[in-house]
Amino acid sequence: MNSVIAVYPGSFDPVTNGHLDLIERSSKIFSRLFVAVLRNQDKDPMFEIEERLEMLRQTTSAWPNVEVDSFHGLLADYARRKEARVILRGIRAVSDYEYELQMALMNRKLAPQVETVFMLPAEAYSFLSSRLVREVARLGGSLRGLVPPPVEERLKNKFG
């Protein structure tokens, strides 16, 4: 089997069970997977970058070919630096596809040697997003089954 390196970028604010589903399944497909947290100064994240990296490292440690990292700037440049041949993106709905298609085409223009691969989440996570998890946590709802236990604990601590 050829060695294929992939990058799974995102904000992961926070990491959800949907993210972990894609990470686990893609770890079986790609020889190496970089889960890359974007350092975006324009966003106001709930968790600082180091917290998100720590949560991801804690929840992905079962997969030895998965490495958690962060980046800033263009994803295409990061993928080239990591010698990745694939950018992995999750798509839950048609509305995700429209945005992701634009991004994939731009990344192809910037780095033609890197392909974008879209994966669908497991049915149980097809509705799940970090934004919804933050909202449920903020309003005191149950997070069971939405995020891994260490993330649930952090969210409870953040919102009391």
Would you kindly state where each structural domain of the chain is located, as residue ranges? 5-159
Say which of 11, 19, 26, 85 is annotated catalytic: 19
Does the active-site annotation cover 43? yes
For the chain (160 residues), the mean pLDDT of every run of 10, in chain order, is 90 96 97 95 88 97 98 96 97 88 96 97 93 95 96 92
pLDDT of residue 1: 53
Q: Report the 3 state secondary structure along 34-75.
A: EEEEECCCCCCCCCCHHHHHHHHHHHHCCCCCEEEEEECCCH
d(CA 107, CA 79): 10
Beta-bridge mates of residue 69: 36
pLDDT of residue 142: 95
Does the active-site annotation cover 144? no
CATH superfamily of 5-159: HUPs (3.40.50.620)
Q: Which of 11, 5, 54 is nearest to 30 (CA)?
A: 5
Does the active-site annotation cover 92? yes
Say which of 43, 72, 131, 138 is annotated catalytic: 43
Does the active-site annotation cover 109? no
Q: What tokens does 128 get?
A: 């799940």
Say which of 39, 92, 108, 158 is annotated catalytic: 92
User: Model-level pTM?
Assistant: 0.94
